[in-house]
Amino acid sequence: MNRSFSWNETDAVIFDMDGVLTDSEPLINEAAISTLKEYGIDAKPEDFDPFVGAGDERYIAGVAEHYELIFKPEMKSRMYEIYLNILPEKIKS
């Protein structure tokens, strides 16, 4: 089947924006480190490397488990709360 592309037949276009418009990884990393610090864990940026791309919950849970801390869903919520607080000051316009 040889079909040419036509915008008239396109219903949607999906873009993977993470890393295209802004690199959010350092910011979410900073937020995750701050979150775990509230639980007494002194995580390092490289601790998260094995969990990049595994999803946001696994990202923080994997490091928590590495430090023998049981993951709690509120950790993910807190990570995003911190992320949203640091985002305006860190993002370049």
CA distance 91 to 93: 6
Amino acid identity, position 50: P
18 is catalytic: yes
Dihedral, 38, 92, 57, 41 alpha carbons, nearest 10: -20
Of 16, 42, 49, 56, the active-site residue reads 16
23 is catalytic: no
Of 18, 23, 49, 56, the active-site residue reads 18
| CA distances to 10, 32, 47, 59 from 29, in Å | 36, 5, 10, 9
Catalytic residues: 16, 18
